[in-house]
Structure 1
């Protein structure tokens, strides 16, 4: 089932979760063990993140420097296939523009269709840490809007090249939204302008970056509606469990923490796990009372504290 169908047919609160592929060399059980812990909470869907290749430089014995390209966390498509077919939970595959050609994206969409996966999240992704050499005969998507347009094309049966006996595909497309604006945008109004372009290109729903002040989400939704964006906007929640996250999270995700949350944590640092769980639970309760489409938890690779948040709601 598509994400948008889950939302349209919902008669009770929906919860979705986002996990990351395990590092290279890890077994698939690193993922399936997390999913098993989430089963009691009836996941409507599970997102699996994607990562572009990176580069590292190795100095050889002769003094020369060798560049090696690696993928730290491979297997997004395969992991989605395992989760969906083993646990019968719909999955959302993250697709990136950075580091991938249009041809590679089209191949991924065809493979996802074979696996029965019909939900994708279209993202630009983080900038590469090296200059990838592209075959000039290959095409590229530069922005998430371009990626949404390509997915919308294959949904109409329009492929990059003529393919005999080809058929339209059927993907539900999500995109990212930023209640505190994307760090590259000069202001929130400009960011919402570009978000509307992604929706107009064919996006079916929006999932937000993590936030810790619900008022930021509600204001963001109001501004999106004023701009003519009508698709569901799913709030994203992250559970804080370490004191250093109060400095790391703003640095990496460009979000603010409410003064009350920070003060409570600094007054009782030994109880940060409990404080983080309680804060996320209060956020979730308020969001559910406001009838949000779903609550999306950024689990990544640790679901224990998310489980404690949800157990307090059941």
Structure 2
């Protein structure tokens, strides 16, 4: 993901990737090889809402084993990102996955419980 700086200093996401994303690749692996895929889900560079859509898509496609990570900031200036829309640490991402399993969206609204909850692991840098 690449972000373009606007005249007012805000950022606009510009999609430049011309390849399948994590959701598509994980689903294809499971469908073609009949083995569980464990995609990485990172919180840096993605909003909480984008993460929620990824969780919904992955769960719908039967990809329910995840590796939750903070991730690196590569093309982003962290001072210009609205902190309320992202997770600073993987612990926030983990809480979002727990809330998702408990039928609570990022806005605190309740939705139908996922048929199969996501399970996840994490990793950290000491």
Instruction: Indicate conservation of the 8 Å contact 2:45/2:76, yes or no.
Output: no
1:91 aligns with 2:50: no
What is the match of residue 7 of structure 2?
A: none
1:173 to 95, 120, 126: 120
What is the match of residue 102 of structure 1?
A: 48
DSSP-derived class of the 2:66 partner: strand
1:81 aligns with 2:27: yes
Q: Give, in angstroms, the shift of residue 82 of structure 1.
A: 0.6
Larger radius of gyration: 1
Q: Give, in angstroms, the shift of residue 105 of structure 1.
A: 0.4
Find the aligned partners of 2:65 and 2:88 in 1 and give their Cα distance.
21
What is the match of residue 203 of structure 1?
A: none
Gaps spanning 5+ residues in structure 1: where?
A: 1-52, 57-67, 183-190, 192-314
Q: Structure 1 pair 105/55, CA: closer, same or farther in 2 (3 Å)?
A: closer
DSSP-derived class of the 2:75 partner: coil
Find the aligned partners of 2:20 and 2:75 in 1 and give their Cα distance.
17
Gaps spanning 5+ residues in structure 2: where?
A: 5-13
1:1-314 map, 5 Å:
53-54=1-2, 70-71=16-17, 74-131=20-77, 139-161=85-107, 162-163=109-110, 166-168=112-114, 170-177=117-124, 182=125, 191=126
TM-score after normalising by structure 1 = 0.33
Deviation by residue 1:116-153 (Cα, 9 ceiling, x = unmatched): 1111111111113233765x6x6211101111111011
Select the structure with the greater relative contact order (CA < 8 A; seq sep ≥ 6).
2
The total of aligned residue pairs comes to: 114
More helix by share: 1
CA RMSD in angstroms, aligned pairs only: 2.7
